[in-house]
Amino acid sequence: MIIGIDFDGTIADTNAAKSAWIQRELKIKVDPYCCDRTSCVPIIGELAYNRMSKEVYNRDTTYGLKPVTGVLQAISELRKNHELLVVTARYGEMLESAETWLSRYPETRDVKLVGRPNETVPKSTICRNENVQILVDDDERHLYPILEIGINGLLFKNGAPEELTSNKLLVCRSWEEIVSFVNEKRD
């Protein structure tokens, strides 16, 4: 099985950096699991989100990101039976920063990274072209289009409360839940 994994907020803890930026710059507390674009824009607005993105997605901030809790162990476990690839909305210089970040860890060093050739190509196109069967992403806007083409979507909301649910997506609150789902799918 080919599993696509989002980079920001799913492998690299970009959401913690976003949450810290929002607290520092806007004096608003937003939990990291709410810092994907779809969840965060209604809270802080499009202009503030775009301003934050420029800072958080830059090279230096990307290099300083920590791995999401449990992701490196999960990747090691999943690689035993599956092909993994990192599917990211990043392109250009931001994609290069993600590639450098991934090269720092033995678990992710040789995982294929697939970014967008430009900002208009959706992740669903990348997943279809790469024959992905499951996509793990922290932003539901990337997952609904893949459901329409028959790809499973797992919504990763690291540390979210149990009350957070989705009508169409399985919400996973930890990497252990993701590994468990994939292993059940395989059996």
**Which position has the higher pLDDT, 43 or 121?**
43
Determine if residue 7 is left, alpha or beta; phi over 0 gives left, psi from -120 to 50 gives alpha, anything else beta: alpha
Q: How confident is the model at residue 186 (pLDDT cuts 50, 70, 90)?
A: low
Report the DSSP beta bridge partners of residue 113: 86
Q: Do 88 and 54 share a domain, yes or no?
A: no
**List of residues 6+ apart from 161 with CB closer than 8 A:** none
Do 58 and 75 sit in the same domain of this protein?
Answer: no
Boundaries of domain holding 158: 2-12+66-186
pLDDT at 187 over 60: no
- 105 and 130 within one domain: yes
pLDDT tens per residue, range 68-79:
999 999 999 999
H or E element that contains 16:
helix 14-26
Is 70 exceeded by the pLDDT of residue 43?
yes
The pLDDT score that the predictor gives to residue 175 is 97
Strand partners, 136: 5, 154
Q: Which of 64, 84, 102 is the last residue of a domain?
A: 64
Say yes or no: 80 and 25 in one domain: no
Q: Which two tokens stand for residue 140?
A: 């539901």
Q: Which residue shows structure tokens 């992403």?
A: 137
Q: Are residues 155 and 172 in the same domain?
A: yes
pLDDT value at 138 more than 80: yes
pTM as predicted: 0.94
| One domain for residues 46 and 93 | no
What span, in angstroms and rounded, lies between the C-alpha atoms of 44 and 28?
8
- CA–CA distance, 140 with 155 (Å, rounded to integer): 6
